[in-house]
Structure 1
Amino acid sequence: MTSTIHHPPPAVPGADETVTQRRRYRSTTRRLLTTELRLLGRDPLTLTFVLVFPIVTMLIIGGSFGTEPDEAFPVNPSHWYVASYFTVVIGATGLIMLPVHIASYRERGVLRRFAASGFPRWSFAVAQLAIGLSAIAIAGLLLLAVAAPVYGVPDVDDPVRVTAGIVVGSVAFVSIGVLLGTLLPSARAAQAIGLLLFFPSFLLGVGGPPPAVMSEALREIADRLPLALANQAIREPWLGIGNATGALLTTTAIAVVATALAARRTAL
């Protein structure tokens, strides 16, 4: 009489190791994100350019043109600048805060230590995205909280388009900030380049004089600035002065390209 011996199915090689590795990656990425968010509030450059600068300049400029629409402003000028300065927060985060933060890491060899410590390749990019979006959310809400008792927060005419503009613009400039931080050799260089990129965009496309009082040449330049396009995608549907479809699509394209390049550069 012969007996049949049933053998258990062969174990999948490395299955347990793969599960363990995934859990370790989630744990290390969570620790990295927690640490980075904690450091966010200790950076004086962050507090100055992302929190303080937009609020102070909004309070000054927002009260300089009265509250009645005229030839230069199609809506209440104060509301015009309240809506515009939300984009200033986005630009300050992407062009100043993140490049300096990341370039200082490169300068001190922190990124090499991340790689040597076994962090997953995508963890640093995810952490910087979360930091940038958190900074924009906190600073943007603080800006609106300060504006509310002074100038009032304008009613949102098209919430869907405004939300889309904020999300796409934020992702675009956070990705640009990460990209700049990984390309520039030092924190000082990142600060210099960031300021050179930020202030012309700020003055021409967002927080400066209205386009109606600019020369034709300046308007042509302003219309092509990425920060101005993001501002149009947010401000126009917010104030009900247009749908800004072209600006939204262009900003989306910028976000896709910048995110792809930033992800490639931050692969540890």
Structure 2
Amino acid sequence: MRAVRALTWIELKLFLREPVTVVFTLALPPLILYVLSEVFGDVPDPGGTTFRGVGGATYYLPAYIGLVVASLGLIGLPVHLAAYRERGVLRRFQAARVPVRALLTSQVVVLAAGVVAGAVLLMALAAVLWDVRWPASWPGVAIAAVLGTVAFTAVGMLLGAVMPTARAAQGIGLLLWFTMMMVCGAGPPPEVLSPVLARTGDVLPLKHLVVALQDPWLGFGVNWVEMAVLVAISVAAAGLAAPALRRRT
């Protein structure tokens, strides 16, 4: 536990010194949420065919909490881990007998702290500017957020393990982030996407997290299927990341 506490404190300070990660986690999601909500407003669609029957701001708010999770998992963690590999930091951890689980746990804690900070900013913005609908099930939203954080931590570990350099990890992370934002429910209304783009979004992790957050938020109940998908993503990504990280350390 001492190792976890020490590593978590160090990782939190390093996170705050990474301007790209801070911008994509704490600044860009609120900015895009503001723009989209001003464009679409928060008036529910009477026919229920757009934004799942709710207003734009209410629809996008849980989606952008998911986008904060994706920002940390796709941009922050892979770059950080790849930089550790490049600089030989992971080898020093091994030489110092720092448990791998302590490093992994510290990363999950840092990501969770980033998610909480980003979610608070988004909800504060929504509370001030729009009369949004708040979650019908706070526990359901919390469970989805936790599972999504774990899933994107595993995805971030995998990207950080397989990318050859920190610059490469940043490039692929940004590409994945923008792609997921556009086709997974955090960009254009899903109803305007072509069938190809809609199917592409359906196979990407962020879509499952967005739906898992929206369903209990909007009163559709906890989506256990999407929760199971997030667990499966966590297991698969972690299972691939562990041997890749050992080989490249």
**What TM-score comes out, normalization by structure 1 length?**
0.84
Is residue 144–residue 153 contact of structure 1 (8 Å, CA) maintained in 2?
Answer: no
Which residue matches 2:37? Answer: 62
CA shift in 2, pair 1:216/1:242, >3 Å: farther
Query: What pairs up with 1:34-183 in 2 under 5 angstroms?
Result: 34-70=9-45, 71-73=49-51, 74-183=53-162
Which deviates more from structure 2 when the two are superposed, residues 72-81 or residues 29-38?
29-38
- Runs of 4+ more than 6 Å apart: none
Which moved further from structure 2: 50-59 or 60-69?
A: 60-69
CA distance in 2, matches of 1:244, 1:167: 14
User: In structure 2, what is the Cα distance between the partners aligned to 1:63 and 1:204?
Assistant: 20
* Deviation per residue, 1:203-244 (Å, 9 max, x gap): 110311122222222222222221101110111221124643
Cα shift readout 1:140-167 (whole Å, capped 9, x = no counterpart): 2122122210124422112332222111
Of residues 196, 204, 213, the one that matches 1:234 is 213
Deviation of 1:263 (Å): 4.6
Is the contact between residue 147 and residue 153 of structure 1 (CA under 8 Å) also seen in structure 2? yes
Kept in 1, the 8 Å contact 2:42–2:132? The answer is no
Question: Could you tell me how far 1:260 is from its partner in structure 2?
Answer: 3.8
Contact 2:157 2:241 in 1 (8 A): yes
Q: Specify which structure has the higher proportion of helix.
A: 2
What SS does structure 2 have at the residue aligned with 1:122? helix
| Structure 1 residue ranges without an equivalent (≥5) | 1-25
Equivalent pairs, count = 243
TM-score by length of 2: 0.90
Query: How high is the sequence identity, in percent, across the aligned residues?
Result: 38
Q: Check conservation: 2:57, 2:126, Cα contact below 8 A.
A: no
Counterparts in 2 of 1:266 and 1:129: CA distance versus 1, 3 Å? farther
Q: Aligned equivalents of 1:242 and 1:225: distance in 2?
A: 22
**Could you tell me which residue of structure 2 aligns to residue 8 of structure 1?**
none
The farther-off stretch of 147-156 and 94-103 is 147-156
Distance 1:174 1:206 in 2: 20
- Larger radius of gyration between Structure 1 and Structure 2: 1
Q: Distance in 1 between matches of 2:104 and 2:207?
A: 25
- C-alpha displacement at 1:98, in angstroms? 0.6
Q: What is aligned with 2:197?
A: 218
Mapped to 2, the partners of 1:242 and 1:216 lie a distance apart of: 27
Whether the 8 Å contact between 1:124 and 1:266 is mirrored in structure 2 is no
Structure 1: distance between partners of 2:6 and 2:213: 34
